[in-house]
C-alpha cells in the first residue's frame, strides 16, 4: 500500500483524495471551491486536450474564444437556462477597489458599480448565440462548427478535487445548423467522439444514452451522455452532448434565409467535457499503491531507475541508458531517467507506482554484465528481465498491451457490476450490497424518477442508446414500460 494512502476498502473517498494529493495532481486553494491543478495533473489535462482537439478538428470543428462575462440580461433570455444556472453563479458587480477613508485597508469602491451585473460564465450558450446572431444571415453561413477551450464557474456548495469544483476547465462546442436533422446528427456525432476518446484514450468503457426529462441540460431539447462506472460502484457522467433545437436561436433571434429565401430559426447543439475526466480516470483504474494511467494519456511513459553503488557504476549505466532513451524519444515516447543519488531505488519504485508511470525499467551492474534490463509494468506489477537490446522494441508492444489490459479490466468490472433487476425490493437490496449499474424498467414519469431518487439516492443515468425494445413493468409503479433504463448512484 502506498505511503500515506488510505486503502480503497477502508475509505474510497479518502483514498481518492489521498491519491490526488500524494501524486501531486491537484490541491485545494485558499479560494473557496477552486483548485490548483499542479504540473503533473495539468500534464494529463494537456494530453486530454491534445487528443480531443485533434478529434474535433478531424470532424470539421474550429476553435474560437468568447467573453468570460455574460450580462445578466443574456442569461435570463432562455427561461429554463436561467432557472438552471441562477443558483450557482459568480456575479461581478463592481470594477474598482479603493483605499478606505478610515485607513482600514482596501475596499470596493461604491462609485464603481456596474449598471448591469455580469455573470462569470457557467457555460456559454447565451454569449455565443448572441454572437451567432451577427454571424448568421443565410444558409450559406451554416453550419457553424465551433469549439472553445475555457474556464467556467459554478458556485458549488460541496466540492471535490476534479469532480466538482467552483471553477473548472473544459471545452464547450457550440454548433449551428440549417435543419433539425443535421443538428441531431451533430449531437450524436460528438457523443460518439466522446465515447471514442474515453474508451480508447482513457481506457474507460462507457454507456451512451439519452437523459430523462428531469436530468437534461437547462435549455436543451435532448441531452445525451456517456456514463462510466467507478470502482466503488458509482457512476460518473463523463461527457454530455445537447440537441438545443431552436431554443437559443429563438431566445437570441437568430434566423437565416434558406435556399428558398424563407426565414427560419437556426438549429443548435452544444457539448462539453471537463477536468472532471481526470477524476474519472483516477477513480476507474488506480489501486492502493497509486495511480494507474493509461499509456495514451501518461505524462511519462517509461521511467528508468539505475541501481548503482558507485559513481563509476552510474556512469556506465548512464552510457547504456542514454542510447535507449534517445531511441524511445525518437519514437515519440516520454522517458525519464531518475539518476538522483539522494534516494534509494525502492523509494523511487514506490514514487513512480504512485504516479502511475506505465513502465519502469531498472538496470544495475549485473544487468550490464548480462546484457539485460528489468522491465516492470504498473498495471499488473509483473516484472521480467529482458535482453537489453530488445527493450526499445518491447516497450511499444507492452504499452499497447497495458492500454488494452486497463480497458479490459474496467470492462470486465463493469459487466460484473451491471445487474438486471425486475423488482424494487431487489433493486434496493442489490444497490446496497453490490452497487454498480442497474438495468430496470421505468414508467417514464418524472414522479417515479423523483421518488426513486428520494428513496435510494439512485438516479436514471440514461436511457441507453443500444437498449432494445422489451415490454416490462416499472419497478416502482408497476406501470408498463417499453425498455430498460440505466440506474445508479452517481458522482
| Positions in the binding site for a second copy (CB under 8 A) | 27, 29-31, 34-39, 42-43, 45-46, 62-72, 74-76, 82, 86-98, 105-106, 108, 117-120, 127, 130-131, 134, 140, 146, 150-151, 153, 155, 167, 169, 342
Nearer to a second copy, 224 or 248 (CB): 248
Rounded to the nearest whole angstrom, what is the least distance from the CB of residue 342 to a second copy in the complex? 8
Q: Which of 73, 77, 133, 82 is nearest to 253 (CA)?
A: 133
Nearer to a second copy, 100 or 393 (CB): 100
Rounded to the nearest whole angstrom, what is the least distance from the CB of residue 371 to a second copy in the complex? 34
Rounded to the nearest whole angstrom, what is the least distance from the CB of residue 307 to a second copy in the complex? 22
Residues 189, 295: Cα–Cα separation, whole Å: 26
- Determine the 3-state secondary structure of 103 from DSSP: coil
Nearer to a second copy, 334 or 405 (CB): 334
Residue with cell 483605499: 99
Q: Are 196 and 202 in contact (CB under 8 A)?
A: no
Nearer to a second copy, 342 or 466 (CB): 342
Q: Are 18 and 6 in contact (CB under 8 A)?
A: yes
Rounded to the nearest whole angstrom, what is the least distance from the CB of residue 275 to a second copy in the complex? 9
Residues 112, 96: Cα–Cα separation, whole Å: 6
* 8-state DSSP, 295: G
Nearer to a second copy, 108 or 463 (CB): 108
Q: Are 45 and 169 in contact (CB under 8 A)?
A: yes
Nearer to a second copy, 110 or 346 (CB): 110
Phi and psi dihedrals of 217, rounded to 5? -65, 135
Q: Are 410 and 203 in contact (CB under 8 A)?
A: yes
Phi and psi dihedrals of 385, rounded to 5? -90, 125
Strands 62-63 and 144-153: parallel
Nearer to a second copy, 11 or 109 (CB): 109
Rounded to the nearest whole angstrom, what is the least distance from the CB of residue 92 to a second copy in the complex? 5
Rounded to the nearest whole angstrom, what is the least distance from the CB of residue 39 to a second copy in the complex? 4
**Neighbouring C-beta atoms of residue 104, cutoff 10 Å:** 8
Rounded to the nearest whole angstrom, what is the least distance from the CB of residue 295 to a second copy in the complex? 20
Amino acid at each position: 500500500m502506498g505511503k500515506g494512502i488510505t486503502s480503497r476498502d477502508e475509505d474510497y473517498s479518502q483514498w481518492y483524495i489521498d491519491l490526488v494529493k500524494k501524486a501531486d495532481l491537484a490541491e485545494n486553494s485558499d479560494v473557496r471551491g477552486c483548485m490548483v491543478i499542479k504540473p503533473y495533473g495539468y500534464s494529463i489535462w494537456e494530453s486530454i486536450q491534445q487528443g480531443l482537439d485533434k478529434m474535433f478538428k478531424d470532424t470539421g470543428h474550429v476553435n474560437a474564444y468568447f467573453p468570460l462575462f455574460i450580462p445578466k440580461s443574456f442569461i435570463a433570455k432562455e427561461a429554463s437556462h436561467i432557472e438552471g444556472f441562477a443558483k450557482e453563479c459568480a456575479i461581478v458587480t463592481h470594477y474598482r477597489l479603493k483605499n478606505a477613508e478610515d485607513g482600514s485597508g482596501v475596499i470596493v469602491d461604491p462609485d464603481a458599480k456596474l449598471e448591469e451585473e455580469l455573470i462569470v460564465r457557467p457555460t456559454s450558450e447565451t454569449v455565443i448565440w448572441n454572437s451567432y446572431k451577427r454571424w448568421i444571415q443565410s444558409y450559406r453561413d451554416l453550419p457553424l462548427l465551433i469549439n472553445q477551450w475555457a474556464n467556467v464557474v459554478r458556485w458549488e456548495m460541496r466540492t471535490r478535487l476534479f469532480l466538482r469544483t467552483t471553477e473548472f476547465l473544459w471545452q464547450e462546442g457550440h454548433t449551428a445548423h440549417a435543419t433539425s436533422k443535421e443538428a441531431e446528427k451533430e449531437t450524436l456525432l460528438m457523443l460518439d467522439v466522446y465515447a471514442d476518446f474515453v474508451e480508447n484514450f482513457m481506457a474507460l468503457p462507457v454507456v451512451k444514452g439519452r437523459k430523462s426529462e428531469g436530468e437534461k441540460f437547462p435549455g436543451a431539447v435532448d441531452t445525451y451522455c456517456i456514463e462510466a462506472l467507478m470502482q466503488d460502484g458509482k457512476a460518473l457522467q463523463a461527457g454530455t452532448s445537447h440537441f438545443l433545437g431552436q431554443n437559443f436561436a429563438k431566445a437570441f433571434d437568430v434566423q437565416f434565409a434558406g435556399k428558398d429565401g424563407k426565414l427560419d430559426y437556426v438549429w443548435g447543439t452544444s457539448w462539453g467535457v471537463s477536468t472532471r475526466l481526470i477524476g474519472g480516470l483516477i477513480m476507474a483504474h488506480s489501486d492502493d499503491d497509486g495511480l494507474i494511467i493509461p499509456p495514451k494519456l501518461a505524462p511519462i511513459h517509461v521511467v528508468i531507475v539505475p541501481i548503482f553503488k558507485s559513481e563509476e557504476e552510474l556512469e556506465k549505466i548512464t552510457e547504456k541508458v542514454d542510447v535507449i532513451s534517445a531511441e524511445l524519444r525518437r519514437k515519440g515516447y516520454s522517458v525519464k531517467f531518475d539518476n538522483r543519488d539522494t534516494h534509494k531505488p525502492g523509494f523511487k519504485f514506490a514514487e513512480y507506482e504512485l504516479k502511475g508511470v506505465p513502465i519502469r525499467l531498472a538496470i544495475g551492474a549485473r544487468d550490464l554484465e548480462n546484457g539485460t534490463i528489468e522491465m516492470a509494468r504498473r498495471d499488473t506489477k509483473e516484472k521480467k528481465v529482458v535482453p537489453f537490446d530488445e527493450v526499445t522494441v518491447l516497450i511499444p508492444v507492452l504499452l499497447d498491451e497495458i492500454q488494452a489490459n486497463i480497458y479490459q479490466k474496467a470492462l470486465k468490472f463493469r459487466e460484473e457490476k451491471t445487474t438486471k433487476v425486475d423488482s424494487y425490493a431487489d433493486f434496493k437490496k442489490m444497490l446496497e450490497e453490490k452497487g454498480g449499474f442497474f438495468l430496470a424498467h421505468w414508467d417514464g414519469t418524472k414522479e417515479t424518477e423523483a421518488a426513486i431518487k428520494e428513496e435510494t439516492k439512485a438516479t436514471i443515468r440514461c436511457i441507453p442508446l443500444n437498449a432494445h425494445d422489451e415490454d416490462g413493468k416499472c419497478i416502482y409503479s408497476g406501470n408498463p414500460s417499453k425498455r430498460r433504463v440505466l440506474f445508479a448512484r452517481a458522482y
